[in-house]
Amino acid sequence: MTVAALSILLGLGDIISRLMARSIKESENFALGVSSITSRVALAPAAARATFDACFPGKQKFIVTRKSTSLHNCQSSVPLAHMFLFALAVAALWSVRDLSLIIHLGVGALALPLPAAWWVTEQLTRYRILTLHATDAKEIGA
């Protein structure tokens, strides 16, 4: 269990260090680095699922993501995999309460995709609203 937790923490540390170093080197923008880390963590369950689907035979489906929105329906939903992983991580934290700090941190890291997905969803919703307003303003001004 310690090896698995350490593996999770090392992977997360690698993601954080590479993305922060690149964002600071290229743009000296700390917020950009945090945003890219959050997006990467939010996409981790989808990437893991795609890897699993690619490794095992079976029918694979293609899901088209929504590119446009209206003012009345801007909210995206967070995928079920994020909520399931979060629930498992919280339950696992209770079951490993007597074990080492590394295990607690590793299991806690598994809960990060859900808050990251909420943040990314909020950012994308704001972006879509701004884009929609900008498009409407251009059409009115034309």
Question: What are the tens digits of pLDDT across the range 98-135?
Answer: 888 898 999 889 999 999 999 988 888 888 888 877 66
The answer to whether 116 and 19 have CB atoms below 8 angstroms apart is: no
Per-residue pLDDT at 114: 92
pLDDT bracket for residue 69 (50, 70, 90): very low
Q: DSSP assignment of 46-108, as one string?
A: HHHHHHHHHHS-S-----PPP---BTTB-PPPPPHHHHHHHHHHHHHHHHTTTS-HHHHHHHH
Instruction: Report whether pLDDT(66) > 70.
Output: no
Tell me the average pLDDT of the chain.
80
pLDDT bracket for residue 139 (50, 70, 90): low
Instruction: Report whether pLDDT(72) > 50.
Output: no
pTM of the model as a whole: 0.71
